Structure 1
Amino acid sequence: MSDSLQLILEDTDGTQLETSCTRFAVIWQGKEVWIQQDGRGQLIIGVDVEEGDEEYANLLLRPLATNLVSLELEMEPAGVLDDEDDHVHGPDCNH
């Protein structure tokens, strides 16, 4: 199964651009909302953790059948480490 997402970006004038990527973000209310596949046919929608955050939320969008999906909210510890803050988010880190 491919981890590539097929995107269609549309300008205000209706011009569309088709592209693909493994992960993308939308900045919404000052937060980066990341969307990526999890390798099992589900989409992970998560918000980047900021200093002081104790938890972060992931939304899992899972296809069920034709025109049906399941949406599940997962809360996980933020895991912000003082000494090990060298972590760089990438497509394989599941953040």
Structure 2
Amino acid sequence: MSDVLQLILEDEDGTQLETTCTRFAVMWQGKEVWFQQVGNDQLMIGVDSAEDDSEYTNLLLRPLATNLVSLELEMEPAEPGDDGHVHGPDCNHD
């Protein structure tokens, strides 16, 4: 099994460029939305955040049709102090 993603980038006139990477990000609404292949052929999507962010970013995935989904970024205020986050093996915090 490989962690390499095969990307097809397309510009406005339809010209395609094929490349590979292990991880890529899209800047969307001022946030870095990261995509990375993980075990069992799954795709992990996450949003980078900084310690001093005043909002949490939530990813909302909704089915639209048989082969389409909607991915939305939703911001909610960050409460100072304990945010209730429980560190686990998948949270990528040290």
Q: Which has the higher contact order (CA 8 A, sep 6+)?
A: 1
- Distance in 1 of aligned mates of 2:59 and 2:86: 11
Query: Which residue number in structure 2 is paired with residue 29 of structure 1?
Result: 29
- Distance in 2 of aligned mates of 1:56 and 1:41: 25
- Cα drift, residue 39 of structure 1: 2.0
**For structure 1, which runs of at least 5 residues remain unmatched after alignment?**
60-66, 68-75, 80-92
In the superposition, the TM-score normalised over structure 1's length comes to 0.56
Cα RMSD, aligned residues only: 3.3
Report the 3-state secondary structure (helix = DSSP H, G, I; strand = E; otherwise coil) of the residue aligned with 1:49.
coil
Query: Which residue number in structure 2 is paired with residue 49 of structure 1?
Result: 49
**For structure 2, which runs of at least 5 residues remain unmatched after alignment?**
61-66, 68-83
Q: Kindly tell me: are residues 78 and 5 of structure 1, through their superposed partners in 2, closer, same or farther at Cα, counting changes over 3 Å?
A: farther
Larger radius of gyration: 2
**Amino-acid identity (%):** 70
Q: How many matched pairs?
A: 68
Say whether the 8 Å CA contact 1:55–1:78 is kept in structure 2.
Answer: no
Query: Which residue number in structure 2 is paired with residue 39 of structure 1?
Result: 39
